[in-house]
Amino acid sequence: MKKYIGTKTLNAEPMTKGEAYDRSLLRGGITPVEREILGYHVVYPDGYESWSPKDVFDAAYNVADTLLDRLNIEYKELDKKAGKIVEFRLTEAYKNLRDTDRAMLDVQFDTMISYLSILGCRSTSVETGQGGFCGLDFGTAIHLLERGYVIRRSGWNGKDIVVFKQVPSSIKSDIIPNMQSLPLKAKELIMAGNKRIDYTSQCLIYNTKTGRADSWVPSISDVFAHDWELVAD
């Protein structure tokens, strides 16, 4: 036989076994003692109604009524899966994996840990309305840059230094002669050629206090840092 994993989404409310019996949700009779057994009135998507003992229901379902509930469920499930990888990495089976398979599993685990961190930040924000998006690795920081967000490292001196990616743009010939950022010889060279400048993937490191901007290329310490954070209001 094969192993199967199922998921159900349903509505439920607390209800004793006695109340369920009174509403004809149970077959057969019950004793007076059984009337006080705690449980849930369950309604399935197709409208079918039943009653479930509390311990059985609690073992199978988590409340998912709010966004915070759903974030907590997702965190719990992902944390459990990550824990299984931790256990597997201690076995001989892990050591005997092909290098490629072991590498993919290691990166999968690291990605899951980053995912857990993001879920934790989101849960804090939803629950308290506070907290930031920080303690990020460079991979996550790159995703933020690609999506147009502004980032910085908490380890940098001062909060005035930020990094952002310029939006790809094309500068036409009518603008080039008036550009302050280009020397005359560069303008002449460009106008003698294609008469345009196509900006692609450029990043700037910007000082919000002084207004100074320089081209930015990450250092090796930036690449391996885990103190990147989102700059937000």
Asked if 152 and 221 count as a contact pair (C-beta separation under 8 A), the reply is no
Tell me if 228 sits within 8 A of 141, measured CB to CB. Answer: yes
Spatial contact of 192 and 102, defined as CB atoms under 8 Å apart? no
Quick one: how far is CA 62 from the chain centroid?
A: 21
Residue range 81-127, pLDDT digits in tens? 999 999 999 999 999 999 999 999 999 999 999 999 999 999 999 99
Q: Per-residue confidence of the chain (233 residues) as pLDDT tens digits? A: 888 887 889 999 999 999 999 999 998 889 999 999 999 999 999 999 999 999 999 999 999 999 999 999 999 999 999 999 999 999 999 999 999 999 999 999 999 999 999 999 999 999 999 888 999 999 999 999 999 999 999 989 878 999 999 998 899 999 999 999 899 999 999 999 989 989 888 999 999 999 999 999 999 999 999 999 999 87
**pLDDT for res 147:** 96
Burial 101-115 (b: 16+ CB within 10 A, else e): eeeeeeeebeebebb
Report d(CA 132, CA 230) in Å as an integer: 7
Nearest to 9 by CA among 65, 50, 79, 75: 65
